[in-house]
Structure 1
Amino acid sequence: MTRTLSSGSLALVAVTAALSLAACSRQPEAPATQAAATETEEVFQEDAGTASEAPEPEASAVSLDEIPEAVRGRWGLVPADCTSTKGDAKGLLEVSADQLKFYEFVARLGTIKEAGESRIRATFAYTGEGQSWTQDVVLDAQDDGKTMIRRDYGKDAMPGPLKYTRCT
């Protein structure tokens, strides 16, 4: 009689084997480092149902009560968002220390879940067009601060990442 394992069972066996091997290792663990995600799908791994632990940010480098300096500024989804003088820049996002300002709504910073020098994950309280809601958001500045990836999580979240370019 041949017995086959489901993909879930195989994953459990693989994880158990990896943990067993790691427990036997006598080498100390290397310190965790925070690397900027270079692919939009790496920005956040909870979509796959796995929670990733971010390393502890340095106390002097990151304030735990505001949006990191590297993320602040004016960002556009398309170049015209940065240059419009008619007030019709629908893809413009202005990021300050405590809020996100979009074309027709504002999001105030709530609970910060993780923060780094150029990345933040937090809950924001949105208001605009007579509505209010909260949204979990990741903002990740990349390419030496030239690009920012925004990813929303939870009910009514955008279906994928949004790529912004810093306005000059």
Structure 2
Amino acid sequence: MSRARMPVLACLATLALALSACDAAPEATAPDPAADAPAADVETPAPNSDASIPAAQPVTAIPAAMQGRWGMTEADCDPNEPANKGLMTIDGTTLTFYESVAEIGQAMLAGDNALRGTFDYEGEGMQWSRDLTLTLSGPDTLVLEEIGDDAPPGPRSYSKCN
């Protein structure tokens, strides 16, 4: 027998032993008292998931609860104020600011109060994309946080205009 075939035969013999061990009868174990108990009517969350966080769902429109006129100050909500630079108007697909407009791109909705997505901006002769999060913090407060190296720092809070 050649030396090249010996390691192959040794591997095959090891494999045969391993497979024969699979056919052996399982060892007897003590009965589990919990196995006879009736199952509880409790839904078990999937592994590595947090049951308190709703699954994100793709969306193509901004939720109705987030739509409307939102101001950073009371003066921003005054339609007669010509310099209401903190006004943000939201419709089904766009955020309109004092000098720019952002249109929804790819976005995900998590529950009824949080939207995260990429928005395509245009303003003052420029175009750019930015990730952002819109979060309703109660019926009259909306928090906008833009994400990225060139984004304005920190979240900005808006109040619903009457």
TM-score by length of 1: 0.63
Q: CA deviation at 1:63?
A: 7.4
**What percentage of residue pairs aligned between the two structures are identical?**
38
* 2:61 aligned partner: 66
Counterpart check, 1:147 vs 2:141: yes
Q: 2:112 aligns with which of 114, 117, 136?
A: 117
Q: Name the amino acid aligned to 1:164.
A: Y
Q: Indicate which of 103, 117, 134 corresponds to 2:98.
A: 103
The one of the two structures with greater contact order (alpha-carbon pairs below 8 A, sep at least 6) is 1
Aligned residue in 2 for 1:56: 55
Q: One-letter code of the match for 1:32?
A: A
The answer to whether the 8 A contact 2:75-2:84 is kept is yes
Structure 2 residue aligned with 1:22: none
Classify the secondary structure of the residue corresponding to 2:65.
Answer: helix
CA contact (8 A) 1:74 1:82 kept: yes
Residue type at the aligned position of 1:147: T
Aligned residues: 117
In structure 2, C-alpha distance between the alignment counterparts of 1:167 and 1:139, rounded to whole Å? 17
Report the TM-score when normalising by structure 2. 0.66
- Larger mean CA deviation between 111-120 and 65-74 belongs to 111-120
Alignment partner of 1:138 is 2:136: no
1:141 to partner: Cα distance: 1.0
Structure 1 residue ranges without an equivalent (≥5): 1-26, 35-54
Matched, 1:33 2:52: yes
Where 1:160 maps in the other structure, the secondary structure is coil
Name the counterpart of 2:11. none
> Tell me, what secondary structure is at the counterpart of 2:59?
coil
Cα root mean square deviation, aligned = 2.1
> Which structure has the larger Rg?
2
Where 2:143 maps in the other structure, the secondary structure is strand
Are the counterparts in 2 of residues 64 and 115 from structure 1 also a CA contact under 8 Å? no
Alignment check: 8 A CA contact 2:96 2:102 kept: yes
